[in-house]
Chain A
Amino acid sequence: QSALTQPPSASGSPGQSVTISCTGTSSDVGAYNYVSWYQQHPGKAPKLMIYEVSERPSGVPDRFSGSKSGNTASLTVSGLQAEDEADYYCCSYAGSKKVVFGGGTKLTVL
């Protein structure tokens, strides 16, 4: 159960777009369209932002979008806002009732 690989940091100015990658293997990200993304502000519990690669739960702004190609999934935040500054974690189903998380990416809004 190796963690998915995310860049430790990403940044962008207000109004810009930023994309965070999440690389797994053919046993997790590449095998299932079950990638989800979570936003976590300091001292808070994570919040589901994207599920099933590109679906948004009710209440999540459409500025957040997800995609996948092969073993790599991506989260794009468009029209960056100050409140988007947070840690972001990807997660994939890995078979046998298990899920695996990425190491997390700290998004800074400049």
Chain B
Amino acid sequence: EVQLVESGGGLVQLGGSLRLFCAASGFTFSSYEMNWVRQAPGKGLEWVSYISGSGSNIDYADSVKGRFTISRDNAKNSLYLQMNSLRAEDTAVYYCVRDMGRGWALDIWGQGTMVTVSS
């Protein structure tokens, strides 16, 4: 079964750091581009970051650029998101999402991990 499972979320203080993990299974992880997408409580979806299959191409939403770092370990079938200098507006469910390879569509979503930034 194709599956993405996130972990690492939790409660963190303003200005703190957190590292999210995503474990992939059921498909050839290195062949797929991956993304992080977040959803603040009661709000819509927001794209956060992209990484190519090899990890050589990376991009970020302006709202997190310079604070978040996306990475992957294809040997471990894992995707990561290092989040630093966290702000209240970073509070959200973070989803690990696979790019299907057609039209920038996101076909496999994890169940999400909640990040709460508290003052």
Tell whether, in the assembled complex, residue B50 and residue A101 are in contact, meaning their CB atoms are under 8 Å apart: no
> Which of A3, A45, A51, A99 is the one whose CB lies under 8 Å from B102?
A51
> Which of B45, B107, B112 is the one whose CB lies under 8 Å from A101?
B45
Tell whether, in the assembled complex, residue B59 and residue A52 are in contact, meaning their CB atoms are under 8 Å apart: no
Tell whether, in the assembled complex, residue B44 and residue A48 are in contact, meaning their CB atoms are under 8 Å apart: no
Interface residues in chain A, defined as those with a beta carbon under 8 Å from any beta carbon in chain B: 1, 3, 32-36, 38, 40, 45-48, 51-53, 55, 57, 89, 91, 93, 96-104
Tell whether, in the assembled complex, residue B62 and residue A36 are in contact, meaning their CB atoms are under 8 Å apart: no
**Residue B84 interfacial (CB < 8 Å):** no
Interface residues in chain B, defined as those with a beta carbon under 8 Å from any beta carbon in chain A: 35, 37, 44-47, 50, 57-59, 61-62, 95, 100, 102-107, 109-112
Tell whether, in the assembled complex, residue A48 and residue B105 are in contact, meaning their CB atoms are under 8 Å apart: yes
Which residues of the partner chain B approach A45 to less than 8 Å between Cβ atoms? 95, 109-112
Tell whether, in the assembled complex, residue B109 and residue A47 are in contact, meaning their CB atoms are under 8 Å apart: yes
Tell whether, in the assembled complex, residue A104 and residue B106 are in contact, meaning their CB atoms are under 8 Å apart: no
Tell whether, in the assembled complex, residue B44 and residue A104 are in contact, meaning their CB atoms are under 8 Å apart: yes
> Which of A52, A89, A98 is the one whose CB lies under 8 Å from B61?
A98
